[in-house]
Each structure stands twice: as structure tokens, then as C-alpha cells.
Structure 1
Amino acid sequence: MNSLYPETDWSSLCRAVRESSRIVLTTHRNPDGDGIGSQIALFHGLRLLGKPVQMHNRDGVPRIYRFLAGSEQIGQGQWPEASAAGDLVICLDSGSQQRLGLSASFFDGARVANIDHHLSNTRFGDYVVVDPRYCATGAMVFDFLLAMKIPVNAEIAQALYTSLLTDTCGFRLASVDASVHRLAADLVECGASPWDISMHVYESRRLASMRLLGLCLESLELHDGGRSAWLAVTADMYRETGADVEDTEGLIDYARSIDGVEVAVLIRADESEHGSWKISFRGKSHADVGKLASSLGGGGHPHAAGCRMQGDLEKVRDHLRQAVRRLLANEGS
């Protein structure tokens, strides 16, 4: 197996891992397949190295990723005071330390490592490896394991394939090239099961999620001459269908798939905070939604990004429409 980017410098982080006595792995709040897959893969890898390691996130593991071996060992919530702190905290797939959603005590007395592929990453931490060339943080973990000379077993391969599959929208984004497909093939040879992963990720929806999909699609609007598509999920929709935030996974792809649409927007109510909205963007063609999200205090990639906003839904939507209109005008000029 070959590294995707052999020139990436992992030396400082390799040394930090070897010198550490207790490692904690964490990823961003409301974790996705890349965050969870990267975390679990690195967990298994470091255990093969004989390192004491644990996993802890602010939020729980989404249902569709609980099939991954080791997911049951991920702690949830704020850092438990009685738990032994790590001397090295490795943050995965998080563009900023704030996005982890954890209190400062989580990092007390620890060195912090930051492994991420988002261009908008704030470069926090003592050991920073941020490289937007990678299609997923899981691909970075693969290269890191090679640098550490840790073998990729079936459990690691299953988790990393999940990272690749989900963060490339099923290998459909512009970040997917021949090297990504070669990596996917390597992972299958190491024991990953594309069928099993795809069944859990894409073919295990709850009935409540299908009902939410119906209501969400009723909100569909096209603007900017059909170049932007808009969807919304409100708190009332959650209550009516019995769905939750996990059931919004993939909804934005319906808007993005419409012929002629260059920017898709999903405005989603935050279940835990009234008046707070999670905004997801997807881009096609030359529309750089990463720049759009950054201008709104968020971040991401050129074709997949997001941010958070506060306030009345209509005011939030109007503000976003102006921002999207400017983006499309600039792209067309």
C-alpha cells in the first residue's frame, strides 16, 4: 500500500504519539462519517501499537455508524471529571477547537494534535497536520498509520472506508481522483466490506426519516433562475414526524441533484437551541460554497460546507439568499 501524499510531514506527531502515555481521540460535535470513521480507525491503530487510548466526543455516535467495531467505546458529553485525562489529545476532522464543543478542562495539561483536511481550519494545537488535498480526514489517518508503520487490519479498513464513502458523498465529489479509488481498493483488500458499509449508511433509514423527507421536500424552492435550490427542516417537522437531527443526513443531496442547480442550501433547526440554525451548502460547477460558508463564520470545502446562524427563519433565509446571490453573480462574472 502506498501513501496518498508521501511528502506530508508526520514526524512531529509520530514522535508525540510514541512519547505519550495516555491518548484521547475526539472529533467535532454532531459527528459525521468522516469524524467517527477517522476516530475509530485511529483508536484501533494505536491499540495495535500498545498505547492506552480512549475516545470521547460531545455528542453521541449517529445510529448509522454504530455498526463500526469500537463505536460502543466512544464516550459522550462533557469531559467526566473522574476520568483520567490524556497527555495527548488528538482532534480529528474539526476546523476549530470550538467546534469540538468541549470545555477547556478537556485539554488541561495535554498537548493537542490537529488532523484535518478543511481549508478553513484555524490551525489550533501543538501538532498541526492540515492538508486540504485529502478527500477526507480518514485518508489522512491512513497515511498517518503508514507513517507509524501500523498495519491496517479489517476493523481499521472498515472505519476508513466509511470515512471515504461518506465524505465524498459516495465518491461523487470533485475531490475524488484515481488515488482515492486506489485507496478504497486497498481498504477492501484489507477487509473493508463496501456492501456492508453501504447498507448501514444508505439503506437503514427509519420510517420517521422518510416522513421527514416528505415534509422537507415540500419546502423546496428554486431561486436565482434555477441556479440555487433551498430546503428547510423546522422544529415543527421534527415533532410531527418523530424524526431527529440524524434523520436529516443526505437531505441536501436531493436539492443538489436538480438539473441546473449550482448551489444547494439546507436550513436545519438545532434541536438543542431554540432560534439556532445549522446551514449546509453543496456546490456544483464552479460555485465555491467553502468561501460562502467562511464569509458567514463557518467553513468547509469548495463543494461542501456549512455554518451556524441565529434568529428568525425568514430573516436567516433572506440573509442567506443575498449571500448566495452574490456568490453566483461573482462566479458568473
Structure 2
Amino acid sequence: MGGSNGSRSARDEVLQAIRGHERFCLTTHERPDGDAVGSLAAMQGVLAALGKDALAFLPAEEFPLPYEYRFIELDGLVTEPPADLSERVLIFLDCGNIDRSPVGDAGAQLVVNVDHHHDNTRFGAINHVDPHSSCTAEMVWDLAHGLGVEVSTAVADALYVGLVTDTGRFMYENTGPRAHEMAAELIANGLQPHEIYRHLYEGVPHGKLVLLARGLTNVERFDGGLLTVTQLTADDYRVAGADESFSEGVVDHLRSVEGTAVAGLVREQLGGSGTRKVSLRATDDRVDVSAIARAGGGGGHRRAAGFSTELEFPELVSFLREQLAQQL
């Protein structure tokens, strides 16, 4: 679908679409992270505050959500696309490519694409794509301002989750002045940062600690340490008693290793499909890992990206080394 890009005019189009329609369906990408869940919940809350009929759609196979996000309120949640989708505006949040969505456009009345990934494929009729935003939650916060909505406690919590997780607790390079302005406003209006921190980063299940230990045991380094990579197998998950979401954060330990340009976590998907998920992180601007991910059929940000593959681990490492060599 042709459409507008992430400009001021695109923002205005989104605001106009929200004001001019009454029925919405909201969704995000597969295996939703903090920004995806936070943006989804926040946008649903904003639309509900306007008296709109807004459903949040996540397929049943995405549940249970990672434990750290389960406190987020997802009102109006459905696990099947609504039968009347053709009469609703379908808003994708934090979804850079429609192939990563659980629903596609599915014949919706209007498709709106709200995202901050620089490699977003602009698949909507309205594409509000702003790579300068720290996270999609920041864009939802901005839209709430444009709509004159005073966010509730639940919406504020969801927005802050998206902000904190996608900026790496305000440490990643995408942390701009607006991110801090957003945090300051939410806190001034009553948000409790430590409560969010406690949900996200404390109360870690023992299985997640065991899985991390196994991941760190499997670390390998290549090309003088430029590539630091580890893998988690189905057996690792079984021994740890862990689900797939427990691997969140493992790759960040690898990124912190001295001399690393790219860190990679390769995790075998459970269920015997033979597919592996690859999470990539860059330590600086020498390497654009989203380009590597796109070569593997995925995408993401310059410093954080991922893709799925059926390559065995040795072949996958060779692919990563070749891609790394092309950029260095």
C-alpha cells in the first residue's frame, strides 16, 4: 500500500484517522517485547479514554507473555482477529514489517503503521514512522498529547515500560531529549519508577538465571573478538526449566565484552521446527546489525536487530563473519 511517511503530516493523518473513526483493532509484532506490549496497551487505553471501541489483538500462542510484562493491563484483549475487522481501523504498533505481524492487513478498513524502526517497510495506508523517536511508546505518548488525552496510571505504566526497555534503561544511543522529557512528565504525574523497575528487573525466575549461566558457558569469539556469540539449545531450556522468553538479556552480556563489535545470541526454537532465532547487538557505529539481519530475512535497528534461520550453528557463524567482514 502506498502512503505517507513519518513526517508531521503523517502524525496529523493518524490523529485525523483516530478522530474520524470509532472502531479499531490494534496489534504488534510476533514475540512482543516491552515496547510492543507497552505501546499496544497504551494505545488501547488512549483510544478507550476517547470512548472508542478498540480491541488489542495478540494470538493465543503469544501467551503467556514474558513474566516481566504480565503486570501490564491489556483491556479489550482478543486472541483471534475480530470478525468485523473489515469495519475497523487496524493500527500496527512497533511492527517494522507486516510479515512479522500475526494478522497482515486482513482486509481492514484502513491500515495505520506507527513505528520507530528505520527500516520499516511502510506497508500502511498511513505510515507514521519516526526513526528519531526512542521507542514506539514515545510516539504513542506524543499522539496522546495530540488527542488531548490525559493518560491514566495504567497507560503511564505501559508507556514507561516501552521507554525503559527500548532505551536500555536510558543507556542506548536512541535515548534522546524527548525520552527524558517523557519520563519526567510521567513521573511528575505520579508514575512510580521503582515499581516498574521491580516488575521488569527483579523477581527473576531461577530458570532464567540457569539459562543465562548456560549461555555464558557456550560463548565463542571470532575474528580477534570482533564477533562474540553464544547459542542456547532446546536441551538448555529443558535443563533450566525455562521458556523462550527467559533468554531476554543474554545478548547484552556478550555486548559488554571488551573488543566486541557485534554480539549474537542464537537460540533454538522449541517444538522441534529446526528454526533458530538470532539476536544481534552492535557496540558502536562501526557495524549496522540491521543490515546483517535484513540479509538473513529479518530487520531492526542499527545496533539491535534479529532474524530467523534454518542454518545450523557453524554455517550461521560463517554467515555472520562474512557479513561482519563486509562492513569492517
TM-score (norm 1): 0.90
Residue 125 of structure 2 is aligned to residue 122 of structure 1: no
Equivalents in 1 of 2:197, 2:9: separation in Å?
30
How far apart are residue 7 of structure 1 and its match? 4.2
Residue 107 of structure 1 aligns to a residue whose secondary structure is: coil
Partner residue, 1:231: 230
Deviates more, 1:159-168 or 1:108-117: 108-117
Residue 73 of structure 2 is aligned to residue 79 of structure 1: no
Amino acid at match of 1:37: G
Partner deviation per Cα, 1:50-97 (whole Å, 9 max, x = no partner): 0011101132332211112x2365333x436xx443510100001111
Partner residue, 1:152: 151
Residue 180 of structure 2 is aligned to residue 195 of structure 1: no
Partner deviation per Cα, 1:132-175 (whole Å, 9 max, x = no partner): 11110000111111111111232221111100100111111111
Equivalents in 2 of 1:325, 1:92: separation in Å?
34
How far apart are residue 269 of structure 1 and its match? 1.2
Q: 1:73 to 1:242 in 2, by over 3 A?
A: farther
Equivalents in 1 of 2:75, 2:148: separation in Å?
26
Partner residue, 1:178: 177
Equivalents in 2 of 1:38, 1:215: separation in Å?
32
Deviates more, 1:302-311 or 1:41-50: 302-311
Partner residue, 2:39: 38
Equivalents in 1 of 2:46, 2:185: separation in Å?
16
Partner residue, 1:47: 48
Partner residue, 1:92: 93
Partner deviation per Cα, 1:275-332 (whole Å, 9 max, x = no partner): 11111111112222122222222111111111111132222222222222333x2xxx
Partner deviation per Cα, 1:23-62 (whole Å, 9 max, x = no partner): 1110101000000000111111111100011101132332
Partner residue, 1:14: 15
What stretches of structure 2 of length at least 5 have no aligned partner?
1-5
How far apart are residue 101 of structure 1 and its match? 2.6
Q: 1:16 to 1:73 in 2, by over 3 A?
A: closer
Deviates more, 1:243-252 or 1:232-241: 232-241
Partner residue, 1:313: 313
Equivalents in 1 of 2:139, 2:203: separation in Å?
28
How far apart are residue 192 of structure 1 and its match? 2.1
Q: 1:57 to 1:158 in 2, by over 3 A?
A: same
Q: Would you identify which runs of 4 or more consecutive aligned residues in structure 1 move more than 6 Å? A: none
Equivalents in 2 of 1:97, 1:276: separation in Å?
20
Partner residue, 2:296: 296
Residue 67 of structure 1 aligns to a residue whose secondary structure is: coil
CA RMSD of aligned residues (A): 1.9
Q: How does 1:254-293 map to 2 (within 5 A)?
A: 254-272=253-271, 274-286=273-285, 287-293=287-293
Residue 71 of structure 1 aligns to a residue whose secondary structure is: coil
- Does the 8 Å contact 1:90/1:113 carry over to 2? yes
Amino acid at match of 1:301: H
Amino acid at match of 1:65: Y
**Fraction of identical pairs, as percent:** 34
- Does the 8 Å contact 2:48/2:54 carry over to 1? yes
Equivalents in 2 of 1:96, 1:226: separation in Å?
32
Partner residue, 1:167: 166
Equivalents in 2 of 1:183, 1:8: separation in Å?
22
Equivalents in 2 of 1:251, 1:158: separation in Å?
25
What stretches of structure 1 of length at least 5 have no aligned partner?
none
Equivalents in 2 of 1:195, 1:172: separation in Å?
17
Partner residue, 2:221: 222
Residue 70 of structure 2 is aligned to residue 66 of structure 1: yes
Equivalents in 1 of 2:9, 2:235: separation in Å?
47
Partner residue, 1:101: 102
- Does the 8 Å contact 1:224/1:325 carry over to 2? no
- Does the 8 Å contact 1:23/1:54 carry over to 2? yes
